[in-house]
Amino acid sequence: MSNISDQNFEIRTFEEFLPELQTRGWSILRPEAIDDDPARTLGRIGKIVPQYNGQITFDVTYKKGFEDAPYSQSMNGLGAHTEAPGYEPPPKYLALYCHRQARCGKGQTLLADGVRFYDTVLDESLRSWADTNEVEFVAATKPGDTERRTFTAKIRGEHDSEPVMRFSYNLFRYGNVNPSAADVAEADRLKDTPLSRIAELGEAWFGDNLTPVLIPEGCMMVWNNHRLIHGRGEYTDPARHLTRYWIA
């Protein structure tokens, strides 16, 4: 996987960022283009909405207690997903402001076009299953929490005549967007269902088609969460620290 020295992206002024976000689906703002409060800058593209914790910011950094769970506050890798698939609609944009990047050469944020996967890669029988069946998106606030949100929707929907993808390797394989270690250990119970086949196909395609981005410190990456799926490579530097925002 690439590291910062061989990544082929530019960091943008706000004026360059906006058209790139709209055409490519993701872009990165340079430090000079970000207000002291990054939420203020993001307010120029939409309304910032509360996350699972009820706050408008969420720290993506290592916290003790999630060592065995594929969770944003662990140092584990995260499978392919769209954010907040149990919200209607899910946030249109996702932003990660980077305070301190992982210095172990890993921990890239990974992006790929989920609509392209659904429309051109999914085989006929799985697509027709997904076109006709709704999925119950269950999300614990954090791994092991009994408080859960659920929402039932198709994997590929629409909002304002634009596609909206809902994809969660964790939900399709382990039954929860934020699974506990126990949910992961019981993955066999969901094996061989259409959903778990979609999860495995999606994850394999994601691995072959993703763009890895090590967001430079002081910069902020924003992407279209209705179209792109994202994930993260595992890392070993506990000082990695990003702030996540959801924009409606």
Ligand X SMILES: O=C(O)CCC(=O)C(=O)O
Q: What is the dihedral of CA 183, 129, 82, 152, to 10 degrees?
A: -70
Residue linked to tokens 């509360």:
50
For the CB of residue 69, give the shortest distance to ligand X in the complex, in Å: 13
Q: Distance between CA 225 and CA 13 in Å, rounded?
A: 21
Q: State the binding partner of 109 from ligand X, Fe ion, none, CB within 5 to 8 A by kind.
A: ligand X
Query: What does the block give as tokens for 32?
Result: 């000079």
Q: State the binding partner of 115 from ligand X, Fe ion, none, CB within 5 to 8 A by kind.
A: none
CA angle 220-239-12, nearest 5°?
A: 15
Q: State the binding partner of 196 from ligand X, Fe ion, none, CB within 5 to 8 A by kind.
A: none
- Reduced to 3 states, what is the DSSP secondary structure of residue 164? strand
Q: Distance between CA 193 and CA 198 in Å, rounded?
A: 9
Position 101 contacts ligand X (CB under 6 A): no
Q: Which is nearer to ligand X, 26 or 126 (CB)?
A: 26
Q: Distance between CA 186 and CA 175 in Å, rounded?
A: 10
Q: Distance between CA 27 and CA 12 in Å, rounded?
A: 7
For the CB of residue 78, give the shortest distance to Fe ion in the complex, in Å: 6
Position 60 contacts ligand X (CB under 6 A): yes
Query: What does the block give as tokens for 133?
Result: 């069946």
**Alpha carbon of residue 89 to chain centroid:** 15
Find, among 62, 58, 116, the residue nearest to 91 by Cα: 58
Position 244 contacts ligand X (CB under 6 A): yes
Which of 11, 230, 243, 245 is the binder for ligand X (CB under 6 A)?
A: 230
Which of 83, 113, 183, 203 is the binder for ligand X (CB under 6 A)?
A: 83
Give the residues lining the site for Fe ion (CB under 5 A): 83
For the CB of residue 241, give the shortest distance to ligand X in the complex, in Å: 10
Q: Which is nearer to ligand X, 117 or 235 (CB)?
A: 235
Q: State the binding partner of 232 from ligand X, Fe ion, none, CB within 5 to 8 A by kind.
A: ligand X
Position 113 contacts ligand X (CB under 6 A): no
For the CB of residue 188, give the shortest distance to ligand X in the complex, in Å: 25
Site of interaction with ligand X (CB under 6 A):
60, 72, 78, 83, 109, 230, 232, 244
